[in-house]
Chain A
């Protein structure tokens, strides 16, 4: 990635004067004036702090203790009541925040990296055999029904707790890759690439140091979309029994709450749904505002 561009961004962030001339400076200037965007970033930040607190063992550690009464109503001891085996619903929801961030971050970062690398290669070598192979691979992965693919990977990896992550990464990178490919095809005809060729910069350096950093805005927006997609998929996969197997997640809580609901206890369901909803909602809005700030041509 280009270090000089990153430095300018940080400077803009701290000085906070009028819009700088760089894409990132302008974007940050625009984003700061976008109320829903700033609020949603704040909400995501709060969730991230909750997740950090769980990582450092500050809260949410009693999520698996099952010494409470069955289906207790909310009280000062159990803030949101307990589930069928007497576990504290509030603590479980807090701990699940960590699970959600782990899944979202791992899947978003890795699928973005794979998508960027393969997309850049196939865009730069468009219409060659490299491009053909990468396009074929994307076509194949997109044609396998997602849930069947996850189930198949889960069984092939014999209960490995990361089989869900692997399946999501293996399927989510294709969208990023297609976007990067399109952008790189456009960029490779620009003069700066021609200039780099002329002074003899090696081909791989041109692709990954000169062209790819110019797609960073696409990668950033796309990774927020993947993050949301991963969290939402986790819920459905955990319900189908293909998701989180060690620990607890909102998906598992919702899955186990179907029994509670039949018995008329809604706390588990409502708590997990609410936690999930506000994080996904904030991330969706953040992603929208980010797109608005980074894409000057976007039509409203």
Chain B
């Protein structure tokens, strides 16, 4: 097992002290879960055919719809 030191706020430490928990295991699970989630996300995006140019065009199209909504709201 590797050792990994972290710093936490006094406030958090106080709250943790009130719970009987194996914090090494909690933190290990948290990090694993986060990394797994993002691995999955990166794996999906790695198959994307979207280009930066497409993203700019899509962004502009979305903005057009957004503007319509807020123009209506503004004139209410």
Are chains A and B native binding partners rather than an unrelated pairing? no
